[in-house]
Structure 1
């Protein structure tokens, strides 16, 4: 590399000597130049990158497959285990995945991407095996929590690793493919879940089937994900973790979820057993944000992530969208089984319209981001479609045609797929690439935390509405505190004709209330999407987390970097010496 220009150096020194205030400007300019050189790092994308993406795709496939298959099979599982706590079986997974998500960014930064991903896969596999072996509902709930810790971490780390390897500007197709994988798994899940609940005891294979898939993903990640790892001893890395911040967010989010899970189902909303954890949880989240902004050395959520309105809008959209998509995944099968008397298999097939449209819509939305070099219009289109779709869903009754009950959720899939694929772009575009890991961990946290609230609030609405609408003689046959929806569904088909029609109508009207609430949620999503600015997307990645190169190439790169750094250091020190 050529030495620095002597005339240029003399000019800088001369100016600095005549104007001392220029000294700091020169130094800052040199520092910025060094930072920009790092930001301009553009990784090569060879076959290894795409093989790594294949390994990550296997991991990304597991979570939605498990989510949708279990949601379809919940009535059968509860009946087989003689339980009634359907909300906790669903919520335990999302609660656990939410609790660990803020930690994943720090774990990936401190311990490295590959160890964190391998640990996540191991937790998911262990949790799946324990779920399959469950002998009672408390056992199943605990196992679902273990499974959730692994599944949530896998989803977050997949996004983080992809951000290390592929620049944001070129990530549209990848984002769309991930949405497609989610949709394919979501489409297969209800069918698999329904098929494996056709006979007593077969539901256990919903969880056992995850184990060999985890094994394949584990081997692929172990062999292929040879990325740079941070240095330091284990104890040094443990000391760098933000344990106070992690405790605050885990405890606070757990308290909130417990409160909304109990509210209106186990205890009245005005009960101290609901109000106390809810208030403490919300106050704890405020305390968490204050601690992260003022005291944390290596914060889980750097305050800079939400100080611009475009990233803030992206996070809000990420939080709002799962209310709608997970509402369809959890409560449309309930509609099919209660109102149409469909079997679990049939309810899974009837949900295919939603799953099939979500994936292609996500691919088109993601590709359009890269082609058009923008993301705002796509988000606006997605939210508009979601508003229309939720309005149409709210018109469905117990006698609605198959065309409506398939087409309306399919429209939710189109809108949700677009928003799902583009939501990360406004989050990341205004931020430096070095913040990607923390930004994506918080992004995944928002998505998972919203899922907890969405499922629990939907369940609360359904419980409260069924309590009012079911025939009193039928509702009184169930003890207080029982989740009426899943306790009732297995008995609907055996009721006599007048009672059966009344129960079907009660379910249809109760579920329609959920969709009416979701109309307002979708309108809110469109409103916050209008906050986004058209911020250009990065064409670089963070070189500190790229793939390991061959030894010769690595040494050559290091020598070049050191030579460039020495050149900048000499130039800067020369100016400082004159001053």
Structure 2
């Protein structure tokens, strides 16, 4: 994650995450129904295969277009891994023990870069294929099973999410008044409405049924290494080293939450504490990135540690954005036949939150960066403002080619714009804390 500042087209790097979330979000709810139709084991093996190949493609990517394409493919498998694994845990592990197992999985998910995860996927595939023995879900042939899949709903959902991402990206990088931006955002809103109608009225076996539909610190992690590289001038490797404490903190928070829920069978106040830590941590990151303190990297790292610890308490293991205790609320409140679909739908809405949160924060950072660069560079009388603005928004390496006084302006602009992005995320997490107080708790029997 910390090395993306070196691959060029820096203004498109939010797509490294959002392209993954696009297919992840679209396929997560579909896996819930597919696992009921085709069985848990075949779906999990398929997910491991696609995710492993996607990891290999990411590790071998040589430019941002290759990386984004590989991430799109990887998300198809990632959606199945997160969803089917949790569905299996719902099937075979008592709810009061789920937190402990969730924390153990969190340790595994927090390790390894793209290439190192490929052999892990191979080992996981072989282990599941040989050791996981489950009764068959259905004895009908594959054609009959395929007819039960809600392909229309899945297609509409992909279009809705894609329209949202394209609209936000074009608006922040080009213009909010350009036709593509306006059309994309309007079509996205319409397709989200169509998706709901399809699931309620048209789909024979919807993967997001109406009775379930109506019953964010990803961007902090994404933009913190960019801040370290653009403002502090450190290497991608050292920026990654600065994030290691937050990784360990997140794993610790998840394990602590697991032991607590196993011991007391309760998660309400645990969730409140988790969101409170995340809010305080995000606020500290905001303050130490220019909100009150001037480039205080030590406090920024401390802020990510506190945020990750709180996130580990309320977060599911796959991508640091999916809230563990709220998933227990849904699962413990659902009927047995609905649990697979409930699990998948919970991942759908959490991933949508990740996409929207990251896209909005990217929009804020890119828009403010572009405007601030033009304003500050105009005051210097530079004749190549457009070239500088485009160059530094595509690659941090371009900054090294600039005169020292211009490079200093660029670093200040990066620091200022990312600081405002952190401020936006602090507000979002704070409202998540407020909403957590209204959560109902079900007994983990």
**1:511 alignment partner, SS class:** helix
TM-fit CA distance, 1:159: 0.9
In the superposition, the TM-score normalised over structure 1's length comes to 0.69
Alpha carbons of structure 1 residues 432 and 491: separation in structure 2 relative to 1, 3 Å:
same
In the superposition, the TM-score normalised over structure 2's length comes to 0.89
1:505 pairs with 2:412:
yes
Give me the whole-angstrom Cα distance separating, in 2, the residues matched to 1:224 and 1:456.
40
Deviations along 1:420-455, whole A, 9 cap, x unmatched?
132311221211122111111112222222222222
What is aligned with 1:301?
208
1:260 pairs with 2:152:
no
Give me the whole-angstrom Cα distance separating, in 2, the residues matched to 1:272 and 1:143.
29
Equivalent residue in structure 2 for 1:391, among 283, 295, 298: 283
Query: Does the aligned pair in 2 maintain the 1:397–1:505 contact within 8 Å?
Result: no
1:476 pairs with 2:375:
no
- How do residues 441-520 of structure 1 correspond to structure 2 at under 5 angstroms? 441-470=344-373, 471-472=376-377, 473=382, 476-478=385-387, 482=390, 484-487=392-395, 489-520=396-427
Give me the whole-angstrom Cα distance separating, in 1, the residues matched to 2:298 and 2:152.
52
Give me the whole-angstrom Cα distance separating, in 2, the residues matched to 1:161 and 1:94.
22
Bigger radius of gyration, 1 or 2? 1
- How do residues 27-38 of structure 1 correspond to structure 2 at under 5 angstroms? none
**1:536 alignment partner, SS class:** coil
What is aligned with 1:340?
232
What is aligned with 1:412?
307
Give me the whole-angstrom Cα distance separating, in 1, the residues matched to 2:129 and 2:383.
55
Give me the whole-angstrom Cα distance separating, in 1, the residues matched to 2:187 and 2:239.
39
**2:7 alignment partner, SS class:** helix
Equivalent residue in structure 1 for 2:28, among 86, 90, 101: 101
Q: Which runs of 5+ in 2 are unaligned?
A: 316-323
Give me the whole-angstrom Cα distance separating, in 2, the residues matched to 1:328 and 1:84.
17
**2:240 alignment partner, SS class:** helix
Deviations along 1:359-387, whole A, 9 cap, x unmatched?
11111122212222221111111112222
1:119 pairs with 2:65:
no
TM-fit CA distance, 1:175: 2.1
1:222 pairs with 2:129:
yes
What is aligned with 1:20?
none
Query: Does the aligned pair in 2 maintain the 1:259–1:278 contact within 8 Å?
Result: yes
Give me the whole-angstrom Cα distance separating, in 2, the residues matched to 1:518 and 1:104.
30
Give me the whole-angstrom Cα distance separating, in 2, the residues matched to 1:475 and 1:464.
19
TM-fit CA distance, 1:514: 0.8
Give me the whole-angstrom Cα distance separating, in 1, the residues matched to 2:40 and 2:391.
41
Query: Does the aligned pair in 2 maintain the 1:85–1:483 contact within 8 Å?
Result: no
What is aligned with 1:164?
91
What is aligned with 1:76?
6
- How do residues 563-578 of structure 1 correspond to structure 2 at under 5 angstroms? none
1:282 pairs with 2:158:
no
Deviations along 1:138-194, whole A, 9 cap, x unmatched?
343222211121122211111111111112232121122233434x32xx55xxxxx
Give me the whole-angstrom Cα distance separating, in 2, the residues matched to 1:397 and 1:130.
34
TM-fit CA distance, 1:410: 0.7
Equivalent residue in structure 2 for 1:242, among 130, 150, 155: 150
Give me the whole-angstrom Cα distance separating, in 2, the residues matched to 1:253 and 1:433.
30
Query: Does the aligned pair in 1 maintain the 2:50–2:76 contact within 8 Å?
Result: yes
Give me the whole-angstrom Cα distance separating, in 2, the residues matched to 1:271 and 1:397.
33
Larger deviation: 437-446 or 207-216? 207-216
Moved over 6 A (4+): none
Give me the whole-angstrom Cα distance separating, in 1, the residues matched to 2:233 and 2:417.
16
Give me the whole-angstrom Cα distance separating, in 2, the residues matched to 1:178 and 1:73.
25
What is aligned with 1:434?
337
Superposed CA RMSD in Å reads 2.3
Alpha carbons of structure 1 residues 378 and 511: separation in structure 2 relative to 1, 3 Å:
same
TM-fit CA distance, 1:483: 8.1
Alpha carbons of structure 1 residues 515 and 459: separation in structure 2 relative to 1, 3 Å:
same
What is aligned with 2:434?
527
Alpha carbons of structure 1 residues 514 and 475: separation in structure 2 relative to 1, 3 Å:
farther
Give me the whole-angstrom Cα distance separating, in 2, the residues matched to 1:126 and 1:286.
34
TM-fit CA distance, 1:330: 0.8
What is aligned with 1:199?
none
**2:87 alignment partner, SS class:** helix
What is aligned with 2:319?
none
**1:227 alignment partner, SS class:** coil
TM-fit CA distance, 1:76: 2.1
TM-fit CA distance, 1:113: 0.8
1:366 pairs with 2:228:
no
